[in-house]
Chains A and B, each alone.
Chain A
Amino acid sequence: MQLTLEFGGGLELLCDSKKIHNVNIEQQNGENKLTMKDLLSWVRTNLIKERPEMFMKGDTVRPGVLVLVNDCDWELSGQLETSLEEKDVVVFISTLHGG
């Protein structure tokens, strides 16, 4: 599944200082289903190069990280349960520093 991931508010520093990542995620056992929960663990394994605790806490994002799926707050789409589709755009922005 092809997705565009964007990191901001300092989170880009955790993944090679690159803000936009076009990724292709191989799904397990050929199932064409991917949730935000799957995506987070994929990002943690494949994109985050340092200080993963700045990005995640437990199995979800750290409090203070804004998540948008296609420009819509993921709290409106079911957070971890949000199901992703081909060409979706997912944005992660840290609000924790930089006033």
Chain B
Amino acid sequence: MEGAGERKRGVRLCCVCKKARASVKRPKTLDHICRECFYHAFESEIHQVIIRNSLFRPGERVAIGASGGKDSTVLAYVLSKLNRLHNYGLHLFLLSVDEGITGYRDDSLETVHRNQVQYGLPLKVVSYKDLYGWTMDQIVDVIGFKNNCTFCGVFRRQALDRGASLLKVDKLVTGHNADDIAETVLLNLLRGDVARLSRCTSITTGEDGPIPRCKPFNPNLDSFITYAYFKRLDYFSTECIYSPNAYRGFAREFIKDLERIRPRAILDIIKSGENFRISTTTKMPEQGTCERCGYISSQKWCKACVLLDGLNRGLPKLGIGRSRGSVGSENGNESKVEKSIQGKQCGTLDF
């Protein structure tokens, strides 16, 4: 800092172009750069991830999971820009899930509808009501505020897959920033979920599922919010009213506190997550299809059908918590099924 130069405030120059006024500090490198150089750095980091991991092939149909939130909005904007700029040759779509949450999802869906126009990308919305016959509001009326994220998480994952197959896409991409990934690494560690811990830093997942999912993510991509703000992107930022999700909130706050003391902390948490990959010995259950709805499932019925069956029979606790005798548990895997259903939290991460 230039000592007493109070009046000189903000005249530091960009350390890349050395011309414009620096306005962004990149937490990982501590570089101070101007807006234009920041846009360029941010976009090329995403491009690099795409190229290095050969994420796409020309002509592919790709759905962008769009929640209306900042990360997916930034991803939709940047991906459609890169697609034009570098001739990826992709057919891009926005895919949104309408959980049926009054005052939350209806507002964020309006954002997605505007994004459809702003970015010129076709939009598909799949709703819980259409797919399952229940809105989240109705589910919460029955089961209360506890455990509703279990429903939300299981239903959303399947809804995205169903939407993706309706769009006949080859891939589903979702937007994540470094904070999200670090938070997920930590949460999986805290839950003892080694299988998910080793998967959550992967660029591509679900190759065994109906639609591969990828997150063109890079640990250096920390500044989604700055990008969204400077580009004046239209996004929605209210928390899901059914997801106070205190546990996740604590984890988020914890890593942000760590970052303040040591800016590399987030990067290092992600690195730890990546290094856990090699130690995976957990065998994934064999995949079949759900007898009821045909969705991919390692059990007789998929998780959504188990939950739905409970709801429809007026036994909404079926399939969650410690209840005995859930459907699809004849083979003695009961506790495992329950655990995996429980472990899946609602939130921005569906990996």
Tell which of B122-130, B145-153, B174-182, B307-315 binds the partner.
Answer: B174-182
A95 to B226 alpha-carbon distance, docked (Å):
9
Q: Which of B175, B176, B238, B256 contacts A10 (CB 8 A)?
A: B238
The verdict on A9 contacting B237 (CB below 8 Å), with A66-B225, A93-B225, A98-B69 known, is yes
A78 to B32 alpha-carbon distance, docked (Å):
13
A96 to B257 alpha-carbon distance, docked (Å):
12
Say whether A4 faces chain B, with CB atoms less than 8 Å apart. Answer: no
B180 near A99: Cβ-Cβ < 8 Å: yes
A10 near B239: Cβ-Cβ < 8 Å: yes
Say whether B283 faces chain A, with CB atoms less than 8 Å apart. Answer: no
Say whether B236 faces chain A, with CB atoms less than 8 Å apart. Answer: yes
A66 to B24 alpha-carbon distance, docked (Å):
11
Interface majority SS (helix, strand, loop, mixed), chain A: loop
A8 to B225 alpha-carbon distance, docked (Å):
10
Say whether B156 faces chain A, with CB atoms less than 8 Å apart. Answer: no
Q: Which residues of chain A in 15-73 are interfacial with respect to chain B, using CB atoms and an 8 Å cutoff? A: 62-64, 66, 68-73
Say whether A90 faces chain B, with CB atoms less than 8 Å apart. Answer: no
A76 near B237: Cβ-Cβ < 8 Å: no
Say whether B86 faces chain A, with CB atoms less than 8 Å apart. Answer: no
Scoring B residues 224 to 246 as 1 if CB is less than 8 Å from chain A, else 0, what string do you get? 11100110000111110000000
For residue A74, which residue of chain B has the nearest CB? Answer: B25
The verdict on A66 contacting B226 (CB below 8 Å), with A8-B237, A77-B9, A99-B348 known, is yes
Scoring B residues 1 to 25 as 1 if CB is less than 8 Å from chain A, else 0, what string do you get? 1000010011010000000011111
Q: Could you say which residues of chain A place their CB within 8 Å of the CB of B21? A: 72
Q: Could you say which residues of chain B place their CB within 8 Å of the CB of A83? A: 6, 9
Q: Could you say which residues of chain A place their CB within 8 Å of the CB of B61? A: none
Q: Which of A13, A69, A94 contacts B10 (CB 8 A)?
A: A69
For residue B243, which residue of chain A has the nearest CB? Answer: A97
Least CB distance, B13 to chain A, in whole angstroms: 11
A91 to B21 alpha-carbon distance, docked (Å):
18
With a 10 A CB-CB cut-off, give which of A72, A75, A96 has the most chain B CB atoms.
Answer: A72
Q: Which residues of chain B in 244-275 are interfacial with respect to chain A, using CB atoms and an 8 Å cutoff? A: 249, 252-253, 256-257, 259-260
The verdict on A98 contacting B9 (CB below 8 Å), with A66-B226, A73-B23, A76-B23 known, is no
The verdict on A68 contacting B256 (CB below 8 Å), with A98-B238, A99-B69 known, is no
Q: Could you say which residues of chain A place their CB within 8 Å of the CB of B22? A: 72, 76
Q: Could you say which residues of chain B place their CB within 8 Å of the CB of A98? A: 69-70, 235-239
Interface residues of A (CB under 8 A from B): 8-10, 13, 62-64, 66, 68-73, 75-78, 82-83, 85, 91, 93-99
Interface residues of B (CB under 8 A from A): 1, 6, 9-10, 12, 21-25, 32, 35, 67, 69-72, 175-177, 179-180, 224-226, 229-230, 235-239, 249, 252-253, 256-257, 259-260, 347-349
24 CB contacts below 8 A, A to B, read A8-B229, A9-B70, A10-B237, A13-B238, A62-B253, A64-B179, A64-B256, A69-B10, A72-B10, A76-B25, A82-B9, A93-B229, A94-B237, A95-B224, A96-B252, A97-B237, A97-B238, A97-B239, A98-B239, A99-B70, A99-B71, A99-B177, A99-B347, A99-B348
New A-B pairs, 20, CB < 8 Å, besides A83-B9, A99-B177, A99-B349: A63-B256, A63-B257, A64-B252, A64-B256, A66-B225, A71-B23, A72-B23, A75-B25, A76-B12, A76-B22, A85-B9, A93-B229, A94-B237, A95-B70, A97-B237, A97-B239, A98-B70, A98-B235, A98-B239, A99-B347
